[in-house]
Structure 1
């Protein structure tokens, strides 16, 4: 009986150790520090903010201030981190800087520090969350400077216009013979369906580069609707450049689209930021 009890106790002990080892890693701060109760800190929601608040009085980091000064600046804007958001690879950036980085990265999205894959942020960029611990730590340690950064960020957001464009093609099968198949397709660039603005207010022209077998192989669309219809037998990648009106002071946007002959076609959405013209900003301030 005694041996059985000892064996059972040993199994339970081993099971407990195994459970502790396999517990998932919850937090990954960008420097080593500890605070009371191992993250079991009482939290509350601020009435004027959506950021999850942690009482600075309960936050007890054990760290060197010099280390904090090393990590305090955003790698993008080189200013004090405001609304810091952390990636899975452990690097931290300003929330606004990260949003812009996601919008301006055309293809593979990689961390600018370690080149880790960040493509998971494309589908969740609108749900980026502020690191509440760092937010409160910076706000407490750099109170005046953090308030200046808050005002700067609010002013920047007021000057930004975000527009969602749709790029894709429609498709129709014209004939399907054994020796010859013909498809009619229309490439298009347009604003999101629920956007009432005129696309020609933003886009000056679109330069489309087709397969060399088409004549002409380069087509320039200088007025809306920005669409091009052709008839062909196969799919290929279309490269094109979107040029914006000078008032937006925005560089050309280069992208590509692989033709889709599946059913009626396909499309993708891209979001582009525009800086409000100076006149519009002045009008907003006066109002």
Structure 2
């Protein structure tokens, strides 16, 4: 058993003047003996909304999210073709563990939270109040991490009918969170039939036969209520700010192909913002639809060539 430590149930509240003021409980009420195992290794307070990593470390959800935010880099890393994206559920966090530095995911542990609530009622209540009074504009709690694999598989085939198409390749984009993705817009070389491909559901892949390599461009469009935290991000045609992230990949015909990995940041807007944004985007789609009826030759951003 790890040693216990005293934890204060003091918390901070915002006064009418806008300053933080520390509120202390009375000495008779403030002290609870807390096991060291129940203290977050980052903030050194009682665990609040605990998340457990695959490497079996436990931290506060907000501490883990903040760690993921500050430690992430958007630089592409070349990885083996057999390296697979970890499919995450909503509210799961993927990053390097702040304790052992291994790549891991963290998932909210409701059973642990219930046990902490029962075992430390006063300290837990103080942590709950402190969290409620936290600044609502704290970006760290709204940033989510999205791991994206982009690359291509490849195999040589025998050419037929004097064709030069000897390369059978599959281009792919594999995100760890498909629930955030509205669609993938994939742009092939203009010599291909239907060079613009829209994928709204996984797998986000395009398979073709060809004779030479070229660069493929792709736009990853987020769902309403989310935006990319990247200087490369652009607004979408229907008005979503920072909702489109352009990427590119040059086909690799060496051996089986190759892939790169990016760890990207996504910001979730305020609660309820998703519905407002989707309503605005739906209005734009209705305008496009009316324009198509009025002018059949008019092309809009949702058309697939």
Q: Same fold (TM over 0.5)?
A: no
Larger radius of gyration: 1
The TM-score with structure 1 as length reference comes to 0.42
TM-score, scaled relative to structure 2: 0.40
More relative contact order, 1 or 2 (CA 8 Å, 6+ apart): 2
Report the structure, 1 or 2, having the larger helix content: 1
Q: Say which structure is richer in strand.
A: 2
